[in-house]
């Protein structure tokens, strides 16, 4: 099976977690695009979606799924999104698509985060994938220096990328994220950091992993 077929498989499997009559939280990325396409087949059974990026909003609307502003919504039963890395406790690294801040906001509205990914994303220790951090532009160099001094990681600004919020993404290489909750809490306090791409406080309750043998569920 190709990686695209595995993504389509988990995108389809995630429909089982959609609560009829509800507003669905929708993430960003190529795996979520498969989910959005699948969600369109049951659009008459849901009220609509809250989206985590301009790209996902455009895809949802093109398929006729109403998109609600996050400010209009108090709580949603599920948020469905991909990840760049997942550890065995359900903590994730996210932000490969630069949407991490809005993703964390929508995840925070949700009772359950359902992560969809191919099984290559499951790792014993996160950090091989460069950790995305959304930063206020004037703080990029300072935050990179602080990563080097605190964790020994090397941060570089992602070229040609401005987030939906008008900020930059710093990709930090060379980390071993052995304590995701502690690193998330620490980095989020540094001046100029908007959001760090560690999802520890908002970790996945359920992971649907695409494998050649079918969908493996970790809960
Ligand atoms: C976007 C994300 C995505 O969920 C993550 O990058 C995975 O994307 P894909 O499904 O394309 O592999 O965090 O900011």
> Which of the four pLDDT bands, split at 50, 70 and 90, describes residue 211?
very high
pLDDT of residue 67 exceeding 90? yes
pLDDT tens-place string over residues 119-156: 999 999 999 999 999 999 999 999 999 999 999 999 99
Give the chain's length. 219
Q: What is the position in ligand 1's atom list of the atom closest to the CA of 98? A: 14
**What angle separates helix 30-39 from helix 3-13, to the nearest 10 degrees?**
40
pTM: 0.95
Q: What pLDDT does 1 receive?
A: 85
For residues 65-70, average pLDDT: 98
Q: Whose CA is nearest to atom 4 of ligand 1?
A: 82
Tokens 């995305």: give the residue: 132
Per-residue model confidence as pLDDT tens digits over 35-47 = 999 999 999 999 9
Q: Is the dihedral of CA 27, 65, 17, 69 positive or negative?
A: positive
pLDDT of residue 165: 97
Question: In testing the pocket of ligand 1, which one of 4, 32, 106, 210 has its CB within 8 Å of the most ligand atoms?
Answer: 32
Mean of pLDDT values over 4-11? 94
Q: Reply yes or no on whether the pLDDT at 175 is more than 90.
A: yes
The alpha carbon of 99 and the centre of ligand 1 are apart by a number of angstroms equal to 8
Question: In this predicted structure, what is the pLDDT of residue 101?
Answer: 98
Atom of ligand 1 nearest to the CA of 32: 10
Rounded average pLDDT over 51-57:
98
DSSP 178: S
Q: Report residue 67 as tokens.
A: 């998109």
Would you please indicate which residues are annotated as catalytic (active-site) residues?
A: 103
Element (H, E) at 10: helix 3-13
In the numeric block, the tokens 């969600």 are attached to 39
Q: Is the pLDDT of residue 97 over 90?
A: yes
| Percent of the chain surpassing pLDDT 70 | 100
Q: Residue 8: what pLDDT?
A: 94
Per-residue pLDDT for 110 more than 90?
A: yes
């Amino acid at each position: 099976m190709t990686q695209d077929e595995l993504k389509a498989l988990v995108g389809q499997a995630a429909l089982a977690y959609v609560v009829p009559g509800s507003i669905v939280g929708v993430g960003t990325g190529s795996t979520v695009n498969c989910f959005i396409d699948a969600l369109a087949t049951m659009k008459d059974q849901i009220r609509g979606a809250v989206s985590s990026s301009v790209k996902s909003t455009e895809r949802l609307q093109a398929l006729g799924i109403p998109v609600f502003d996050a400010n209009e919504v108090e709580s949603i039963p599920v948020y469905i999104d991909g990840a760049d890395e997942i550890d065995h406790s359900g903590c994730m690294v996210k932000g490969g698509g630069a949407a991490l801040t809005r993703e964390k906001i929508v995840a925070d509205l949700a009772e359950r985060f359902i992560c969809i990914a191919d099984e290559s994303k499951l790792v014993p220790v996160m950090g091989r994938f460069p950790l995305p951090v959304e930063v206020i532009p004037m703080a990029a160099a300072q935050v990179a220096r602080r990563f080097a001094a605190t964790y020994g990681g090397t941060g570089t600004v992602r070229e040609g990328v401005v987030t939906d919020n008008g900020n930059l993404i710093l990709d930090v290489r060379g980390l071993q994220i052995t304590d995701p909750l502690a690193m998330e809490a620490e980095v989020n306090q540094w001046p100029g950091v908007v959001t760090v791409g560690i999802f520890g406080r908002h970790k996945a309750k359920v992971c649907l992993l695409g494998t050649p043998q079918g969908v493996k569920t970790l809960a």
